[in-house]
Structure 1
Amino acid sequence: MIGRFATPLISLMVVLSIISCQAQLSTTFYDARCPNAPTIIRNSIRRAISAERRMAASLIRLHFHDCFVQGCDASILLDETATIQSEKTAAPNNNSVRGYEVIEAAKREVERACPGVVSCADVLTLAARDASVAVGGPSWSVRLGRRDSTTANRGAANTDLPSPFAGLDVLIDAFDKKGLTARDMVALSGAHTLGQSQCFLFRGRIYSNGSDIDAGFASTRRRGCPQSGGDGNLAPLDVVTPNSFDNNYFRNLVERKGLLQSDQVLFSGSTATIVSQYSGNPRTFAADFAAAMIKMSEIQPTLGQDGIIRNTCSAIN
């Protein structure tokens, strides 16, 4: 009887083993089928950032906005269709999130080398890491094997992405719901050492005459952000080194020079000591940022047979 069922049993075990392996993230996921994928993506991202250094901040933010909405599944990259309500037009993303074309360009290059193998979700995850490195930030090991979603979720994008006007408790709760600690939150917020923000997102803060904003800093920012009009005018999140990854963002918070309310509020309550630590120790911040990016990149990834490999990132095959 044992011999009669041995072959089917072994076959079943092999199939289950394959499915299990396919449903695991791994740093060696593409070694057999597309070993050059990380290099192809890295070179493409470097070229994009060399052409526009601000793109580094945009790619890190794009990855963040993807992972906070139904996990890291490249859902944010999908365009609007008759059956898909795109996340691109959700309030936190519309006319704000950038870098879609950079991910598409990297995906095209990977497709030429290995058609139908590498997911857009993995391209975006690697791009965020490579963007950090390109502007002097830390590197980290990226576990791969994500699949792309066939759906988007505009509603979740409107509710799950942290608001720039949020208070500390609301922010901590939003990150906690994604399995991220308050320390992870502060470290990830340090990505605001890069990039720019639109006037309408910080106007209330610079005209508030509040005790949590440096008067000189507020006055300077008002020059480019009038009380009415100019909603899209940009200001650097870190006025000192806006295109380099460092810990000046945290020094700014200690000096009450955080541009967004959701930034400055980190230097209060239970997270104030973390901000102080990062402001004085750039190595600790860099290490914690890398660790938090790894955790964020593995929020509810779509794995195995639960997703697809999109041919282009903006559309379902």
Structure 2
Amino acid sequence: MAVSICAPKVLCWTTSFLLMLMASLSKAVLDAHYYDHTCPQAEKIILGTVYEASMHDPKVPPRILRMFFHDCFIRGCDASVLVDSTPENQAEKDGPPNISLASFYVIDDAKTRLELACPRTVSCADIIAIAARDVVTMTGGPYWNVLKGRKDGRVSKAAETINLPAPSFNVTQLIQSFAKRGLGVRDLVALSGGHSLGFSHCSSFEPRLRNFSSVHDIDPSMNDELAQNLRKKCPKLNKNRNAGEFLDSTSSTFDNNYYRRLVAGKRVFGSDQALFGDYRSRWIVEAFAKDQSLFFREFAASMIKLGKVGVIEKGEVRVKCRVVN
């Protein structure tokens, strides 16, 4: 057995090599081919489950995409958003920003099928990541190879959902929030394009419609026609909890119309519209508005990057996504 002896304060080549090897291994946690041998049918099973659910309920795609964002932005992509609350602990899904999350049953159904095909193999965190890619592709967006090998976390706390970026955030707040997850301004603008799909209740944008400031009743960055339309849909003392507006005029199709409407001042969320009003993000918005293929490439790259946030190596593979093993 070879023995390496290093003089004090002298870097030992063997030690250096081992450290570099360990560093490279620590970065190689995720792999696009992770289940090729242990569960080769995993992605096919997930796609089939998501497709069937989407055919029955068109709200499924935006809900799954939002679920992925909300999971990764708290403790990282560890499926903590799926855990049910208990008498001893209020979980993430019951935190105020997550009350409107839905379609958890889709992930449950996929997990049930996967447990039959390859027990205790595919993590719930990977199911969400793959399903998020599938709903984007199914609705006309880009395809990318999802890196896999995530483990499921054992902790989920509703109080931590306060760290999710709010619809009222300005660009500085958004940049800071994304930076904490290792994401830059281009990632911020690209991932905001996820709002190409979906619907929002009045409570998320109502502050833009009345008493916006001491000078303006309505947010001046909002298109006048849109503002008046939203005021009708969201009247004062509105008791209809389901009232709201689609996030995009093509809300069931993933495209770059999000950015074209942003340029026109027709975004529902203040945080979205702010991207066009700030020099740090405006040029990226304009580029995506002009070139859908560019947006698709950047969105896919940013989704891969987001999917690496907070990945844990020593978690578990839950048997049921709603319950820690």
Residues 32-71 of structure 1 correspond to what in structure 2 (within 5 A)? 32-71=37-76
Which digits, 9 at most, give the CA deviation of each residue in 1:127-153, with x for residues without a partner?
Answer: 000010110111111111111111113
- Does 2:246 correspond to 1:264? no
Residue of 102, 105, 108 corresponding to 2:106: 102
Residues 5-84 of structure 1 correspond to what in structure 2 (within 5 A)? 24-84=29-89
Residues 138-287 of structure 1 correspond to what in structure 2 (within 5 A)? 138-158=142-162, 160-207=163-210, 208-229=217-238, 230-238=240-248, 240-269=249-278, 270-287=280-297
**What is the rounded CA distance, in whole Å, between the counterparts of 1:30 and 1:92 in structure 2?**
33
The RMSD of aligned alpha carbons is 1.9
Shift of 1:175: 0.3
Q: Scaled by the length of structure 1, what TM-score is found?
A: 0.90
Shift of 1:232: 3.6
- Does 2:304 correspond to 1:299? no
Q: 3-state DSSP class of the match of 1:267?
A: helix
**What is the rounded CA distance, in whole Å, between the counterparts of 1:21 and 1:28 in structure 2?**
17
Q: 3-state DSSP class of the match of 2:287?
A: helix
Residue of 292, 306, 309 corresponding to 2:317: 309
**What is the rounded CA distance, in whole Å, between the counterparts of 2:285 and 2:237 in structure 1?**
33
Using the aligned pairs only, state the percent identity: 38
Q: 3-state DSSP class of the match of 1:265?
A: helix
Q: Scaled by the length of structure 2, what TM-score is found?
A: 0.88
Q: 3-state DSSP class of the match of 1:311?
A: coil
Aligned amino acid, residue 161 of structure 2: A
- Does 2:82 correspond to 1:93? no
- Number of aligned pairs? 298
Q: Is the 8 A contact 1:25 1:144 kept in 2?
A: yes
**What is the rounded CA distance, in whole Å, between the counterparts of 1:55 and 1:244 in structure 2?**
13
Judging changes above 3 Å, is the alpha-carbon distance between structure 1 residues 216 and 103 closer, same or farther for their aligned structure 2 residues?
same
Gaps spanning 5+ residues in structure 1: where?
3-12
Which digits, 9 at most, give the CA deviation of each residue in 1:41-84, with x for residues without a partner?
Answer: 11111111111222111101000000011110000000011443
Aligned amino acid, residue 24 of structure 1: V
Q: 3-state DSSP class of the match of 2:255?
A: coil
Shift of 1:22: 11
Q: Is the 8 A contact 1:62 1:97 kept in 2?
A: yes
Judging changes above 3 Å, is the alpha-carbon distance between structure 1 residues 120 and 235 closer, same or farther for their aligned structure 2 residues?
same
Aligned amino acid, residue 233 of structure 1: A
**What is the rounded CA distance, in whole Å, between the counterparts of 1:313 and 1:22 in structure 2?**
26
Aligned amino acid, residue 36 of structure 2: D
Q: 3-state DSSP class of the match of 1:197?
A: strand
Q: Is the 8 A contact 1:164 1:261 kept in 2?
A: yes
Aligned amino acid, residue 317 of structure 2: I
Q: 3-state DSSP class of the match of 1:244?
A: coil
Judging changes above 3 Å, is the alpha-carbon distance between structure 1 residues 78 and 107 closer, same or farther for their aligned structure 2 residues?
same
